[in-house]
Amino acid sequence: MSMRTTGLGLVAAASVLLSGCVQTRQYADVQFSPPSGNYKLLVLRPDVTVSSLSTGGMAEPRADWTEQARSAIIAALRSQQASRGGQVQIVERRNSLAGIGDQELAEMERLSAVVSQSIVLHKYLGEYLPTKQGKGLDWTVGQAAINVGQKTGYDYALFLHAEDQVASGGRIALGVLGVAGCFVGFCAPNIGGATQLDYASLVDLKTGEVVWFNVVKASSQVPGIKFGDLRTPQGATQMVDRLLNRMQPGAAIRREQQVKR
């Protein structure tokens, strides 16, 4: 084995350690200030999927892991909100909310889900829209959300989406093989490991507008490297913390605050 391939192998092995990566990005309506005081917050049923990543790279949904993660996330949400002073209800079933029918709530949920997907696509994943530039967060769920607000008396609704993958044994082995290959000159150290994508959107139920939005994306190039497993209380708490704990006011409000200082 030549010096050169050995060197290449070592570089690849080193890059393994650096290849886990977590990104967060937050967007807010220009006039947004984080809810404080005696606000009433409705947390919609968290949309959670945990899959197993097969050797060939297919994401296979797992029912038991998804349930574990959903319970862990709900528990983490409860303790995160307990320290904030607002009145919070987490809707685990659509028919559990007084004052509104399950289909009406479902309609808002579906609409929020689609609006959130557009925000991720057009604000975060690079399909930027020229008409939305420099406008902060310019999206609305509209009348469906206002209806829910009027019928239930809540001020805000929070929509939460989390998808996570856990690399299977085969995928990890394949990654190890890819790194090992560097020593003979066939280098495939980054076949791609798990990807976690979480986002949250806060809807003002008086205006129907999405006032705040946050995305967390965590991914590793190498299978087997994890960054907070949503199935565990620690992982779920870390995710909820990354997603919700550093809510920033909108641009106009921040400017005002600076002027006052």
Partner 1 sequence: MCWRCNQISRRGLLAGGGIAAASLATGAAQARIRPADMQPLIGPGYRPTEKDEQGLWQLMERAEEEIAGSNLLITDPVLTGYLRDIIGSVGGPAAKDFRIYLAHVPEFNAMMFPTGFAVIFSGLLLRMRNEAQLAGVIAHEAGHFLRRHMIRSWRDQRRKTDLFAIGSMLAGIGGAAGGVYVGDYMRLAQLGTILSLFHYSREIEAEADAIGATLMEQAGYPPVEMANIWQQLIGEQEASARYRRKHRDRGYDLFATHPAPESRMADLRADALEVTKPGKAYDDRRARYLDKIGSIRPMMLDDQVKLNDPGASQYLVETLAKDGWNGLLRFYEGEVWRLRNRKDDDVRAAQSYAAAVVYPDAPADAWRWHGISLMKAGRKGEANIAFARYLAMKPEAPDAAWVRQMMS
CA atoms within 13 A on the CB side of 29: 17
* Beta strands at 156-167 and 139-140: parallel, antiparallel or unpaired: unpaired
Q: What's the closest the beta carbon of residue 60 comes to partner 1, in angstroms? A: 6
Closest CB to partner 1 among residues 51, 196: 51
Closest CB to partner 1 among residues 60, 92: 60
Q: What's the closest the beta carbon of residue 4 comes to partner 1, in angstroms? A: 13
Closest CB to partner 1 among residues 129, 184: 184
| Bridge partner residues of 197 (DSSP) | 163, 217
Closest CB to partner 1 among residues 101, 153: 101
Q: What's the closest the beta carbon of residue 182 comes to partner 1, in angstroms? A: 10
Interface with partner 1 (CB under 8 A)? 49, 51-52, 54-58, 60-64, 66, 103, 106-107, 110, 170, 174, 177-178, 180-181, 184-186, 188, 191
Q: What's the closest the beta carbon of residue 173 comes to partner 1, in angstroms? A: 9
Q: What's the closest the beta carbon of residue 169 comes to partner 1, in angstroms? A: 11
C-alpha span between 257 and 261 (Å, rounded)? 6
Closest CB to partner 1 among residues 52, 196: 52
CA atoms within 13 A on the CB side of 139: 25
Closest CB to partner 1 among residues 55, 89: 55
Closest CB to partner 1 among residues 145, 211: 145
Q: What's the closest the beta carbon of residue 156 comes to partner 1, in angstroms? A: 24
